[in-house]
Amino acid sequence: MKANYLDDLNERQREAVITLQGPLMIIAGAGSGKTKVLTTRIAHLMRNGVDAFNILALTFTNKAAKEMKERVEKILGGHEARNLYIGTFHSVFARLLRSDAPKLGYPSDFTIYDSDDAKSVVKTIVNELNLDDKHYKPNLVYNRISAAKNSLMSPEAYQQDYYIQQEDQRASRPLTGKIYDMYAKRCFKNGAMDFDDLLYKMYVLLKSFPDVLAKYQHKFKYIMIDEYQDTNPAQYEIVKLLGAVHENICVVGDDAQSIYSFRGATIQNILQFEKDYDDVKVVKLEQNYRSTKSILNVANEVIAKNKGQIEKNLWTDNAEGEKIKLIRTNTDNEEGKTVADTIAEQKLRNHYANRDFCILYRTNAQSRAFEESLRRLAIPYRIFGGLSFYQRKEIKDFIAYLRVIMNSRDEEAIKRIINYPVRGIGKTTIEKVSIYANDQNITFWEVLERAKEFGFKAGTLDALDGFVTMIKSFRIMLDKHNAYEIALQVGKSTNIVKELFNDKTTEGLARYENIQELLNSIKEFTETPNEDGELEDNKSLGIYLQQITLLTDADNTNDENSDVVKLMTIHAAKGLEFPVVFTVGMEESLFPSGMSINSREELEEERRLFYVAVTRAKSRLFLTYANSRYRFGQLQQNEPSRFLEEVPEQFLDRSYAGGGLRNSGSLGGGASWGNMFDKRKTAAPPQGPQPARTAPRPTSSAVSNHTPSPNFAADNPHEMEPGMDVEHQKFGFGKILSMEGAPNNRIATVMFPKGGGEKKIMLNYAKLMIVRQQ
């Protein structure tokens, strides 16, 4: 261990680190060295004789957990650090629940449902209750259920709560409580917990089994919570229970950066912390090491507009820096172009690398314009967020097999794969199985196993039997084979891998590669010894499944060092920093979001979001907005964001590529804006006037619709051969590339240059006319 680790800290930081006993709240302003304090504090605890086994550190993201782990290891050496419990709330609780789940009636190999699985269960139930899913939108209903669990409200309590019932009544969804109840029972029956259950059931476990509670209270003598401002009531209560004996609870957070209330986080947890415990010590980290004075000034001015904050005064010794640059453009496309141009220019002028830039937006949909422009200038970029690897269909399908092997009660997983690849088990059959399962109160799987008793037709019965036999054959492997071996076998005997391999479309290729990547990652998992050095025992399929469900794309930090411009939502940027930040789309109804301008609380959260965006920047910050942009396919005119008006004039530089606060002239105020880029040579050929999206464009149907030749008449499928030029009524002219299928059901692969590329055409149905023989 480094001997002088305390010397690297400022006075406040040191005070936080050496306060080891009793409740401690660290208010850590943006860029004030929060992670450093947390990790050093852990090291200091151990230095002072605390056993690593007795320390629990909880974070929100895997990424934060990983970073913390690595940094502690750096101070202590990996040897001592490996017994620490550092992880996300969800992963730590999943791990604890694994051993005690049977106490609650769950298998210890319970499945973890991600939100897609959970919504799908909700949907099933809404259908079973014959409710209209226009009213009972699975998404909304699931959010209600999720919120209930995050406030530790049982289905019974939910249905009895007058206020809640009123709300559901008003939303004309009075049966939400009923759905919650059925949902909970269904998950239980399926042997599955959703993300919220990992918290909720943990709480129930601690509450119902005093011996379990005592065990963990004794074990976790020191507890640390990161991002405390984003905790929800469930997390709050669990922490309170776990820490009740020793009260060595250290929470770290910044109320100014609380941006997850839409997911049940309550800022009250941090605002109230002092009242929750006696003798709370509060340490404020107010020195910012990240940003220039200019940037910090803006951040402070903006956040000061919020009410009810913990008082603090963030300051820095850093240089004054440049003013914040405000850029107005006419359209969203032009915004993209201007930002890309500015990046190119800044790279030249200030010798930045690509990785020094980050483009932050409020919504994922905004990324498009920036992608296009960056690509045009050949600037490499990467978008963070969006669909995670594990949410891709082919990945979920494959994993569904593994889930079923592990837990046959997992109905959601069975339904995903029972007819994938196609094995002749259609919608009707699945519905019947569901009904039988509900009627007899047995699991979906049991109905499949005992299909004979339910009088399916012979063909269907064969198909069901085949499926059951196959799954069982995989299950036998569990004893002697690790996750990778089983996964390989699944890929082989289901033909999934082969099928995707033979699919030569672009999507097919991507899917094939994704499956390969999945298999590789499983292999990697089985080959990496875990922290305790165990290899065999811990490399089971069960462990693997629990891990990956809690993993997300945001955790893929492997190419963190690659030299690319980063694009992400402001939410995703929390905790990160970049030399140059563009906060784009600074417009009313976009940012602040139109959904969040109806209450003070919501607006304040948007403002905190803006604060987070501003404080990501180290040396240069650009704010951009467009007079008009396409949203939902509609051209929309937006006023500049009210947040721009909250930035005092003296901190702004409007000269940069134009910029004026108001939409003065309708078309950008003449020659003053955007011109500096037009005069410069860019890597791309000059675009000329931006191809206005307002200009009449050919409608999409006109592009893809081909007008058939007057003499069009379908030719006999049997006469078609590869190499022929053909005409299709809709796709236009094309060339037959190959031919497959049974003689009486021939399928041609045809390349239509103007009709969307390669298509598979079933000749019995779609009609082709031969234009020219080979």
Partner DNA sequence: CAGTTGCTGTTTTTT
Partner DNA sequence: ACAGCAACTG
CB of 404 to DNA, least distance (A): 19
Instruction: Please say if 35 is a catalytic residue.
Output: yes
Asked if 607 and 306 touch (Cβ cutoff 8 Å), the reply is yes
Task: Residue 91: name the closest of 543, 510, 752 by CA.
Answer: 543
Q: Which of 67, 100, 227, 410 is catalytic?
A: 227
34 is in an annotated binding site: yes
Catalytic pick from 67, 196, 226, 412? 226
Cβ nearer to DNA, comparing 364 with 516 = 364
Q: Does 34 qualify as catalytic in the annotation?
A: yes
Cβ closest to DNA, residue 17 vs residue 603: 603
Q: Is 253 annotated as a binding residue?
A: no
Strands 85-88 and 55-59: parallel
Q: Give the interface with DNA as residue ranges (CB under 7 A).
A: 60-63, 88-91, 114-115, 134, 137, 139, 195-196, 262-263, 362-365, 385, 388, 419, 422, 424-428, 550-555, 568-569, 571-572, 593, 595-596, 630, 632-633, 700, 730, 759-760, 762, 764-766
Residue 669, annotated as binding a ligand = no
Which residues on neighbouring strands pair with residue 249, listed in sequence order? 223
CB 412 within 8 A of CB 187: no
Select 446 or 555, whichever has its Cβ closest to DNA: 555
- How far is the C-alpha of 39 from the C-alpha of 21, rounded, in Å? 16
443 in a known ligand binding site: no
- Please tell me which residue in 14, 19, 35, 137 is annotated as part of the active site: 35
CA distance linking residue 189 with residue 106, whole number of Å: 9
For DNA, give the closer residue by CB, 195 or 582: 195
Out of 59, 124, 229, 257, which one is annotated catalytic?
257
- Which is closer to DNA, CB of 700 or CB of 774? 700
DSSP assignment of 166-205: HHHHHTT-TTHHHHHHHHHHHHHHTTEEEHHHHHHHHHHH
Using omega within 30 degrees of 0 as the cis cutoff, is the peptide bond preceding 102 cis?
no
Q: At closest approach, how far in Å is the CB of 59 from DNA?
A: 8
226 catalytic? Reply is: yes
Phi first, then psi: give them for residue 46, nearest 5 degrees: -70, -35
- Compute the distance between CA of residue 189 and CA of residue 192 in angstroms, rounded to an integer: 8
Which residue lies nearer to DNA by CB, 372 or 531?
372
Cα 110 off chain centre by: 22
* Cis bond before residue 592 (omega within 30° of 0): yes
Is 33 annotated to bind a ligand? Reply is yes
Minimum gap (Å) between residue 177 Cβ and DNA: 21
Report, in Å, the least distance between residue 767 CB and DNA: 8
Q: Which residues lie below 8 Å from residue 725, measured CB to CB, with a gap of 6+?
A: 733, 734, 735, 736, 770, 771, 772
- Alpha helices (H) along 231-329: 233-243, 268-271, 273-276, 293-303
CA angle 725, 728, 732 (to 5 degrees): 80
257 as an active site residue: the answer is yes
SS3 content of the chain, % helix, strand, coil (to 5): 50, 15, 35
Q: For residues 540 and 125, give the distance between their C-alpha atoms in angstroms, rounded to a whole number.
A: 32
Residue 589 CB, shortest distance to DNA, in Å, is: 10
Least Å distance between CB 140 and DNA?
7
Is 729 one of the annotated active-site residues of the chain?
no
Q: Minimum Å distance from CB 133 to DNA?
A: 7
Q: Is 28 one of the annotated binding-site residues?
A: yes
Q: Tell me whether residue 121 or residue 285 sits nearer to DNA (CB atom).
A: 121
Of the candidates 144, 616, 620, 629, the residue annotated as catalytic is: 616
Whole-angstrom distance, CA of residue 708 vs CA of residue 771: 12
680 noted as active-site residue: no
Distance CA 287, CA 120 (A): 47
Q: Which residues are catalytic?
A: 34-35, 226-227, 257, 616
What residues are designated binding site?
A: 28-35
What residues are designated binding site for ATP?
A: 28-35
